[in-house]
A = this chain, B = another copy of it.
Amino acid sequence: MDLKRMGNQTVVFANPPVILSSYSVVGPKEGQGPLGKTFSKIWKDQLHGEKSWEVAESKMLLEALKGAIDQVTVPLEQIDFMLAGDLLNQMISSNFAARQMALPLIGIYGACSTMALGMALGSMLLDGGFARHVLVGVSSHHDTAERQFRSPSEQGTQRAMSAQWTVTGAGSVLLGRSGTGPRITSATIGRVIDYAEKNVNNMGSAMAPAVADTVINHFHDLQRKSADYDLIASGDLGAVGLALATEVLKRSGVDMGTKFTDCGIKIFDASQDVHAGGSGCGCSAVVFAGDIMQRLKTGELKRVLLVGSGALHSPTSALQGESIPGIGHGVVIES
């Protein structure tokens, strides 16, 4: 078989996989944000009747996964793989959701870039002929993330202005080999880039160079520029990281024009007190599954580059004085 590669890091799909459906479930704060109307389901509170935030997060992911399936007539036994990941230690949200799905599970981890990684990898499994349908889903939850990565929510610790607010949300897409819907036409898997940022309250800055690296390689591999896209969305750099990524790209000779935005900026507005913006696996997942998918379907957006961005540290590595490695995974979606 011929290689489906362009340049160094980008794969181009011979038969671009179709996004047959998408689904998003969010918490109340996200529901009150500017994209509130684009989400499939908004929970009234963070627990949703469960006994812990962790159980609630896994339940939210399960709702998102089932939501994507329920919109189509694809039988469960024709979904050959489920790709899932989340921020919790040992990815318990995904693993416990998968326990109830009974689908072959490929666990993936790219921190907040996991949705883009899943869409890229799922597309390779479909275009490579290994699956009929692939279900991709990720989640994050503000309160599970706070107590695991920072301080318990109940403590009410003051947050730095460069900090981002972990989105309570789960997003999913069901991918197929044929059918109606936007198509995933190429993907650029990122390298780990570390510019020695050590401030865990400024993850946008830690991830910005990795996003810039992936964008540069993507443009180089496909011989494209920002004007070739209707939207280039990182997820999730926040305000500090987006400005830095734009600057890094500019200094590398890449003009991002006016179409470069960030899912973490889009999901909340200034009145919501989230400082630099949203973050978490769920952030780019629900912005994509909701707002971006809807605009692709109406034809308002014809070609989108989603660059999921992940900060690949842990509380242990930070306490041991390590800097924060970043990664960016890109996928191109066309209507």
A residues adjacent to B (C-beta < 8 A): 1-5, 8-9, 11, 14-15, 51-52, 54-55, 77, 80-81, 85, 87-92, 95-96, 98-99, 101-111, 117, 121, 124-125, 127-132, 148, 189-194, 312-317, 320, 322, 325, 327
Contact = CB atoms under 8 A, between A and B. Distances in A.
B54 A96 contact: no
Contacts of A325: 95-96, 98-99
20 contacts: A1-B15, A1-B127, A3-B130, A4-B130, A5-B130, A9-B104, A51-B320, A54-B316, A92-B312, A92-B316, A98-B191, A98-B312, A101-B192, A104-B189, A104-B190, A105-B191, A106-B121, A107-B110, A108-B108, A124-B124
A194 B102 CA distance: 10
A92 B5 contact: no
B125 A111 contact: no
Given A128-B128, A189-B105, A8 B77 contact: yes
Contact of A129 (B51, B99, B128, B148): B128
Nearest to A113: B107
A58 to B, nearest CB: 9
Given A314-B89, A325-B98, A11 B105 contact: no
Given A2-B129, A3-B129, A108 B105 contact: no
A106 B54 contact: no
A96 B14 contact: no
A191 B88 CA distance: 20
Given A1-B129, A89-B89, A103-B191, 16 more contacts: A3-B131, A4-B130, A5-B80, A54-B316, A85-B109, A87-B90, A91-B312, A96-B317, A96-B322, A96-B325, A99-B194, A99-B312, A105-B327, A106-B121, A107-B110, A124-B124
A97 to B, nearest CB: 9
Contacts of A105: 189-192, 327
The 7 nearest A-B residue pairs measured at CB: A128-B128, A95-B312, A90-B314, A104-B189, A107-B109, A1-B129, A89-B89
Contacts of A81: 189
B106 A117 contact: yes
B320 A54 contact: yes
Nearest to A317: B92
Contacts of A314: 88-90, 92
A76 to B, nearest CB: 11
Nearest to A85: B109
B191 A102 contact: yes
A117 B124 contact: no
A121 B104 CA distance: 13
A41 to B, nearest CB: 24
Contacts of A130: 3-5, 11, 124, 128
Contacts of A8: 77
A128 B128 CA distance: 4
A313 B109 contact: no
Contacts of A316: 54, 88-89, 92, 148
A88 B128 CA distance: 31
Nearest to A110: B107
A106 B104 contact: no
